[in-house]
């Protein structure tokens, strides 16, 4: 490790870094704007100036930009040099000549990088006598607010939006001191990562528009570390609350999962917590609403859980604790997964393959550093957006690594590397049903139907491993592609194959598994990633319960059951007729959920369940990584409780005593480990609830939290006792441990002098790497060596059937998903539900764009307008999936279409 | 003894309060008010700085916006039973909205009556600092003035122009 001298003190630093990164890693406060740990340096803002010296005798030195200078052994630099300090102060003063005087009404205020840096350099008085430049703002859609006056021209926004995230509708216009960052004309930002602009922008040009509607400063938020519930990736988030409402969601850095960025669904999909559609009171159908208090409810439930046989329907969106609590209450053999048989089978299959341990399930971080990626069938842009972002980074980084092999350019040298790379790309083969924005960076982009994609996968596997039978009758184009892909994967060191269950096709999973197993050698670290449909699909699948169909069969034969449905709208998972039949055949139906839906309408007893913000729990993401989310706030309405707490109380009634029963998440997890060995070591995901640092708990509120004695003074002038959190080491006060808490329990990023989210620098042991003593979640799959088994049953080539079409789901980032729709901003962006057909099929039906098409299967009928897509294979029909209010369609089956 | 008699004939310092009212300085730190700008608009922009500065945390508010994007407090609450009249809120206020006034007659029999809401705090006056309108100098367009029409502002940039 090279040694550098900062202000004449020697420090050991990591080679290959620049001086800015090295200084920040060492804990120095050095101001910067244009540099971003995920995006590298361009040396545009001139803010991070330091002085470097030729040798120890050199007293003059020269000013350089620390972000543009590599670490060299024996290098001498000064941060505190008075000329360098004056230079930095002057840069800020110049930037401030045009920065408006609107911090009081700026949403960035209090978490503003520009404020922090201005204070850091010491600039405090405006000497400039002349006028300020002004700009007209643009409408950028419902997610991002634009206030162009505040711009300091650091170029971070366009570097993130265009270079990092691949968007093309935000750009820089104009010249000299008139440069303008915006769109060509007003309009909604198209990138699904646009929300990150609010965090990337060092000042308030781009701010969170949903936060603006119920604005609260960062210092006033009661915040807790949480995990995003909108897809299976389990991105880490921080949710903030004030006055009983969730106000905003920001990124929580986790080096193995989401790094610095979130997708817009994760960032803006929180408002369902504040929805008027929340279930707030327990309800017993036979009693009037006001007659049901907690005692009545518990008495009623006591009869239901002790006098009748119990069955439990779990949920892929409820936490592991809640699912397990239900399993404990009803008994293992009476516990069913709340998803259809087909989904349960496919998810079980994917889980089995990962559990075998012969293939490595990759994290998002590993996808980012992959050097060849193959996507089979899954439309990750819509089903796992942050994974798509990671794939994009893999393509860009691989290209950069190839280009810099010949010279000594360091990886952080962003602009220089872009010049060198030009249009060169790393290897990505994106083989999907419909085109995706990833195609523009793909080496191979092919459209096909799932069976043929799987056949292509099998052909690739055959080329990699002769033991797998060859696929016959491939077209020449497919054969050529298979060879190209196999060749690229073979030459890669860290190839990754991605697929999932959105094509409802098992052969795809088998093909991906074959490829990765063939590629895995001691020298080559090949990885696989399966995308799951919901946030805890993997956790639910790991419980190995039967599917919904088995539960339906059970109530058909035994009509005296009490069924407990846990946080699950069955109508989204199974056809309405089946769900109706099941719900009507249950003698007693107890439903617990956060929001009203079609299943809760049928409940005989309805119990209000806490959403992610009001609950503690654990989720297992698509990789098999268990992550804990903490309660953000305790609802004032004491009826709203975590499902596992309700179920625990029911269990106590059933067992007649609470001795030895679980009451807290850590106890549930400990019990889970013992009961189901596949969850071994999951309890390490959170420290015991009595965990304290120096005897102190971790405060959810920053030390500047305001208004304690006035917030609820209108209700009663005497302040109530602070809320007690018995379930976790976090507290509901601003008092407690003031240092850096363990990485999985960081409620907000803040460091002295660093109020913005950039304070994350101080939490990392090295810039851009893991957090200090990072607990990035518990991976439930250990790699094992064993006899490699390959699948040899490649599917038959897809043949369209006359008069029938294969129905497949088409997911949309905005629209699919049960709860993100309750965010007003997201609901504005949802495209219209539609079915998609190829030109030929549409012509055969005599339909044009917009014609209403009826999907028919047996008695089932559903009508949607048509959109014609040229690239879709004939014989297939795609329909919008998971939209609000839409029933579960018979995915993966052959349906009849009528005009 | 002589000193006592000397003082007997001096002017009296004691005021016959409450019959006689004390004359206080305009900058005396008493009852807190929210003022209005010269155009009659609410001066408070709900920036939360007073709440953050308050050492006893007795100020709570919630920001909201009108259709022009002008920010104002949805509610503004001061718990005077906690207030120590330190004046930090006034010092922190960037818009001269919150001001302390020379009025101390706030005694109440019921402590709950010392919780003042916005309608109790807002006065129809500019208070001690006449003439200041934050939105005229803040750059942004919040329905008070258009972009580039404020004090010390250049006209809004024409981004299509490449002229120097």
ipTM: 0.92
Q: Which two tokens stand for residue A454?
A: 């799987």
* Cβ within 8 Å, pair A707-B147: no
**Contact status of B67 with chain A (Cβ, < 8 Å):** no
Alpha-carbon distance values, A317 to A353, A573, A612, B76, B118 (Å): 22, 12, 10, 39, 43
* Cβ within 8 Å, pair B63-A215: yes
Q: Which two tokens stand for residue A368?
A: 């980012």
Beta pairing class for A527-531 and A617-620:
unpaired
Closest CA to A237 of A856, A746, A885, A663: A746
Query: What distance in Å separates the CA atoms of residue A519 and residue A522, rounded to the nearest whole number?
Result: 10
Query: Which of B56, B82, B139 is the closest to A102 by Cβ?
Result: B139
* Cβ within 8 Å, pair A714-B115: yes
Task: Give residue A68's domain range.
Answer: 3-96
Residue A623 lies in a domain: no
B57: helix, strand or coil: coil
* Cβ within 8 Å, pair B52-A135: no
Query: What distance in Å separates the CA atoms of residue A676 and residue A683, rounded to the nearest whole number?
Result: 12
Residue A877 phi, psi dihedral angles, 5° rounding: -125, 130
Query: Is-contact A484 A513, C-beta < 8 A?
Result: no
CATH number at residue A472: 3.40.228.10
pLDDT of residue A611: 95
Query: What distance in Å separates the CA atoms of residue A781 and residue A623, rounded to the nearest whole number?
Result: 9
- Chain A CB contacts of B134 under 8 Å are 104
pLDDT of residue A408: 81
H or E element: which one contains A302?
Answer: helix A294-307
* Cβ within 8 Å, pair B152-A131: yes
Consecutive 10-residue averages of pLDDT for chain A (899 residues): 93 93 94 94 93 92 94 94 94 93 92 95 90 94 94 94 93 89 94 95 95 94 95 95 94 94 95 94 90 90 90 94 94 92 93 92 94 94 95 94 86 91 92 93 93 94 92 91 94 95 92 93 92 94 93 90 93 91 92 94 94 94 95 93 93 80 90 93 93 94 93 92 91 92 93 93 92 90 85 90 92 92 93 93 91 90 92 91 89 91
Residue A273 lies in a domain: no
CATH code that applies to domain B24-137: 3.30.70.3270
- Chain A CB contacts of B41 under 8 Å are none
B10: helix, strand or coil: coil
Query: What distance in Å separates the CA atoms of residue B84 and residue B68, rounded to the nearest whole number?
Result: 36
Query: Is-contact A241 A256, C-beta < 8 A?
Result: no
Q: Which residues of chain B have pLDDT under 70?
A: none
Query: Is-contact A8 A59, C-beta < 8 A?
Result: no
Query: Is-contact A482 A475, C-beta < 8 A?
Result: no
Query: What distance in Å separates the CA atoms of residue A719 and residue A711, rounded to the nearest whole number?
Result: 9
Q: Which two tokens stand for residue A589?
A: 């139906």
- Chain A CB contacts of B159 under 8 Å are 135, 173-174, 178, 180
- Chain B CB contacts of A175 under 8 Å are 162
Q: Which residue has the tokens 């840096």?
A: A117
* Cβ within 8 Å, pair A149-B139: yes
Query: What distance in Å separates the CA atoms of residue A698 and residue A630, rounded to the nearest whole number?
Result: 12
Query: Is-contact A689 A664, C-beta < 8 A?
Result: yes
Residue A65 phi, psi dihedral angles, 5° rounding: -85, 120
Packed helices A576-585 and A548-557: angle between N→C axes, nearest 10 degrees: 40
pLDDT, one tens digit per residue, over A754-763 is 999 999 999 9
Residue A876 lies in a domain: yes
A335: helix, strand or coil: strand
Alpha-carbon distance values, B5 to A822, B8, B10 (Å): 82, 5, 9
Beta strand residue intervals within chain B, DSSP E: 32-34, 59-65, 71-79, 98-100, 115-116, 153-156
pLDDT of residue B121: 95
Beta pairing class for A335-336 and A360-361:
unpaired
Domain edge (last residue) among A468, A496, A525: A525
Query: Is-contact B152 B137, C-beta < 8 A?
Result: yes
Query: What distance in Å separates the CA atoms of residue A791 and residue B138, rounded to the nearest whole number?
Result: 67
Residue A470 lies in a domain: yes
Query: Is-contact B110 A73, C-beta < 8 A?
Result: no
Q: Residue A99, Cα to own-chain centre: how many angstroms?
A: 34
Query: Which of A137, A180, A710 is the closest to B77 by Cβ?
Result: A710
Query: What distance in Å separates the CA atoms of residue B58 and residue A341, rounded to the nearest whole number?
Result: 57
CATH number at residue A836: 2.40.40.20
* Cβ within 8 Å, pair A134-B154: yes
- A47 contact partners, CB below 8 Å, separation of at least 6: A31, A32, A33, A34, A88, A91, A92, A117
Domain extent listing, chain B: 24-137
Query: What distance in Å separates the CA atoms of residue A432 and residue A192, rounded to the nearest whole number?
Result: 19
Beta pairing class for B59-65 and B71-79:
antiparallel
Where helices occur in chain B by DSSP H, the ranges are 2-8, 49-53, 88-92, 118-121, 134-137
Query: Is-contact A748 A218, C-beta < 8 A?
Result: yes
Query: What distance in Å separates the CA atoms of residue A573 and residue A214, rounded to the nearest whole number?
Result: 34
pLDDT of residue A656: 75
H or E element: which one contains A510?
Answer: helix A506-519
Where helices occur in A74-121 by DSSP H, the ranges are 82-98, 113-121
Query: What distance in Å separates the CA atoms of residue A371 and residue A384, rounded to the nearest whole number?
Result: 20
Residue A68 phi, psi dihedral angles, 5° rounding: -110, 10
Q: Which two tokens stand for residue A525?
A: 């670290």
A76: helix, strand or coil: strand
CA angle A15, A17, A20 (to 5 degrees): 135
Minimum Cα–Cα distance from A182: chain B residue: B159
Residue A590 lies in a domain: no
Query: What distance in Å separates the CA atoms of residue A776 and residue A336, rounded to the nearest whole number?
Result: 30
Domain edge (last residue) among A63, A96, A129: A96
Counted domains in chain A: 3
Closest CA to A622 of A308, A353, A248, A296: A353
CA angle A182, A42, A441 (to 5 degrees): 65
Q: How far is A440 from chain B (nearest CA, A)?
A: 29
pLDDT, one tens digit per residue, over B53-76 is 999 999 999 999 999 999 999 999
Q: Which two tokens stand for residue A566?
A: 């846990």
pLDDT of residue A785: 81
Question: How many contacts does A have with B, using Cβ atoms within 8 A?
Answer: 141
Longest Cα–Cα distance of chain A, Å, equals: 92
Cis omega before residue A53 (within 30°)? Answer: no
**Contact status of B106 with chain A (Cβ, < 8 Å):** no
CA angle A617, A619, A625 (to 5 degrees): 135
pLDDT of residue B164: 75
B151: helix, strand or coil: coil
Alpha-carbon distance values, B135 to A99, A687, B151 (Å): 15, 50, 10
A405: helix, strand or coil: coil
Cα torsion at A648, A653, A658, A662 (round to 10°)? -10
Minimum Cα–Cα distance from A145: chain B residue: B69
Query: What distance in Å separates the CA atoms of residue A571 and residue A445, rounded to the nearest whole number?
Result: 35
Q: How far is B135 from chain A (nearest CA, A)?
A: 8
Residue A430 lies in a domain: yes
Domain edge (last residue) among A41, A75, A96: A96
Taking the CB of residue A405, how many other CB atoms lie within 10 A of it?
Answer: 8
Query: Is-contact A789 A270, C-beta < 8 A?
Result: no
Q: How far is B107 from chain A (nearest CA, A)?
A: 15
Alpha-carbon distance values, A411 to A41, A103, A183, A399, A676 (Å): 9, 36, 30, 11, 45
Cα dihedral sign, A454-A458-A459-A461 = positive
- Chain B CB contacts of A243 under 8 Å are 62
Closest CA to B58 of B19, B30, B28, B84: B84
- A656 contact partners, CB below 8 Å, separation of at least 6: none
Q: What are the beta bridge partners of residue A427?
A: A372
């Amino acid at each position: 490790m090279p040694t550098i001298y900062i202000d004449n003190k020697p420090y050991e630093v990591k080679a290959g870094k620049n001086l800015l990164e090295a200084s920040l890693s060492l804990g120095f406060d050095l101001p910067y704007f244009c540099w971003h740990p995920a995006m590298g340096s361009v040396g545009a803002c001139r803010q991070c100036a330091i002085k470097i010296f030729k040798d120890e005798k050199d007293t003059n030195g020269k000013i350089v930009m620390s972000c543009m200078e590599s670490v060299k052994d024996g290098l001498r630099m000064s941060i505190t040099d008075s000329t360098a300090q004056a230079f930095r102060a002057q840069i800020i003063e110049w930037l401030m000549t045009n920065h408006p005087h609107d911090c009081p009404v700026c949403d960035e205020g209090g978490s503003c990088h520009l404020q922090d840096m201005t204070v850091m350099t010491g600039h405090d008085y405006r000497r400039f006598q002349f006028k300020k430049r002004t700009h007209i703002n643009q409408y950028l859609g419902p997610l991002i607010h634009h206030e162009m006056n505040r711009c300091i021209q650091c170029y971070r926004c366009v570097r993130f939006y265009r270079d990092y995230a691949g968007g093309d509708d935000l750009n820089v216009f104009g010249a000299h001191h008139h440069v303008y960052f915006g769109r060509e004309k007003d309009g909604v930002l198209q990138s699904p990562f646009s929300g990150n602009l609010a965090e990337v922008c060092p000042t308030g040009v781009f701010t969170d528009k949903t936060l603006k509607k119920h604005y609260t400063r960062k210092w006033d938020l009661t915040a807790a570390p949480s995990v995003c519930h909108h897809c299976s990736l389990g991105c880490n988030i921080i949710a903030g609350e004030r006055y009983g409402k969730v106000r905003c969601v920001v990124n929580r850095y986790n080096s193995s999962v989401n790094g610095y960025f979130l997708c817009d669904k994760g960032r803006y999909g929180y408002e369902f917590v504040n929805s008027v559609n929340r279930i707030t009171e327990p309800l017993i159908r036979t009693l009037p609403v006001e007659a049901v208090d907690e005692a009545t409810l518990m008495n009623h439930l006591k009869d239901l859980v002790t006098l009748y046989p119990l069955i439990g329907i779990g949920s892929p969106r409820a936490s592991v604790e809640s699912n397990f609590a239900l399993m404990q209450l009803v008994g293992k053999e009476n516990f069913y997964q709340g998803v259809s048989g087909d989904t349960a089978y496919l998810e079980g299959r994917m889980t089995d393959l990962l559990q075998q341990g012969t293939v490595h399930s990759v994290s998002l971080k590993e996808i980012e550093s992959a050097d060849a990626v193959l996507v089979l069938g899954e439309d990750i842009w819509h089903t796992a957006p942050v994974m798509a972002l990671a794939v994009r980074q893999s393509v860009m980084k691989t290209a950069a690594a190839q280009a810099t092999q010949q010279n000594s350019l360091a990886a952080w040298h962003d602009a220089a590397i872009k010049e060198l790379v030009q249009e060169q790309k790393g290897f990505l083969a994106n083989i999907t049903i419909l085109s995706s924005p990833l195609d523009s960076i793909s080496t191979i982009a092919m459209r096909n139907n799932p069976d043929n994609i799987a056949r292509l996968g099998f052909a690739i596997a055959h080329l990699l491993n002769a033991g797998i039978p060859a696929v016959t009758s491939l077209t020449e184009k497919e054969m050529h592609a298979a060879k190209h892909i196999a060749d690229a994967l073979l030459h890669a060191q860290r190839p990754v194959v991605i697929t999932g269950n959105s094509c409802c096709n098992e052969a795809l999973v088998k093909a991906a598994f074959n490829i990765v197993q063939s590629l895995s050698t001691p020298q080559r670290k090949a990885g696989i990633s399966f995308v799951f449909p919901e946030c805890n699909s993997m956790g639910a699948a790991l419980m190995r319960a039967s599917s919904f169909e088995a539960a339906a069969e059970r109530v058909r034969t035994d009509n005296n059951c009490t069924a407990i449905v846990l946080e699950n709208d069955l109508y989204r998972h199974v056809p309405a007729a089946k769900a109706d039949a099941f719900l009507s055949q249950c003698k007693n139906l107890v439903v617990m959920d956060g929001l009203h839906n079609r299943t809760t309408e049928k409940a005989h007893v309805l119990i209000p369940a806490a959403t992610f913000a009001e609950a503690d729990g654990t989720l297992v993401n698509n990789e098999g990584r268990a992550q804990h989310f903490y309660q953000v706030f305790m609802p004032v309405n004491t009826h709203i409780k975590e499902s596992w707490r309700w179920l625990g109380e029911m269990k106590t009634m059933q067992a007649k005593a609470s001795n030895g029963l679980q009451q807290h998440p850590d106890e549930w997890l400990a019990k889970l480990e013992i009961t189901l060995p596949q969850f071994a070591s999951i309890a390490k995901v959170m420290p015991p609830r009595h965990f304290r640092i120096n005897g102190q708990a971790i405060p959810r509120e920053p030390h500047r939290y305001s208004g304690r004695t006035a917030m609820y003074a209108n209700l009663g002038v005497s302040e109530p006792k602070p809320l007690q959190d018995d379930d976790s080491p976090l507290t509901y006060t601003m008092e407690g441990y003031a240092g850096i808490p363990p990485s999985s329990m960081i409620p907000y990023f803040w460091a002295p002098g660093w109020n913005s989210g950039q304070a994350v620098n101080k939490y990392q042991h090295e810039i851009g790497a893991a957090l200090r003593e990072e607990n990035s979640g518990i991976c439930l799959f250990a790699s094992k060596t064993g006899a490699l088994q390959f699948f040899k049953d490649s599917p038959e080539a897809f043949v369209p059937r006359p008069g029938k079409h294969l129905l497949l789901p088409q997911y949309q980032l905005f629209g699919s998903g049960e709860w993100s729709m309750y965010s007003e901003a997201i609901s504005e962006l949802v495209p219209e539900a539609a079915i998609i057909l190829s030109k030929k099929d549409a012509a055969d039906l005599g339909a044009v764009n917009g014609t209403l098409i009826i999907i028919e299967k047996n008695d089932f009928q559903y009508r949607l307008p048509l959109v014609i897509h040229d690239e879709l294979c004939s014989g297939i029909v795609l329909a919008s999936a998971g939209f609000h209010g839409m029933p579960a369609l018979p995915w993966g089956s052959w349906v009849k279409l009528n005009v | 003894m002589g000193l006592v008699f000397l003082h007997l004939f001096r002017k009296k310092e004691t005021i016959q309060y409450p019959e006689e009212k004390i004359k206080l300085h305009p900058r005396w730190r008493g009852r807190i008010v929210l003022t209005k700008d010269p155009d009659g608009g609410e001066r408070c922009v709900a920036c939360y700085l007073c709440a953050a500065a308050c050492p006893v945390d007795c100020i709570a508010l919630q920001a909201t916006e009108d259709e022009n994007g002008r920010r104002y407090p949805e509610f503004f609450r001061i718990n005077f039973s906690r207030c120590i009249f330190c004046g930090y809120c006034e010092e922190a206020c960037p818009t001269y909205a919150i001001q302390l006034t020379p009025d101390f007659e706030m005694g109440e029999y019921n402590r709950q009556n010392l919780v003042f809401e916005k309608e109790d705090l807002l006065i129809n006056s500019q208070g001690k600092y006449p003439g200041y309108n934050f939105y005229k100098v803040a750059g942004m367009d919040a329905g008070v003035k258009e972009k580039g029409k404020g004090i010390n502002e250049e006209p809004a940039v024409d981004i299509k122009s490449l002229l120097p």
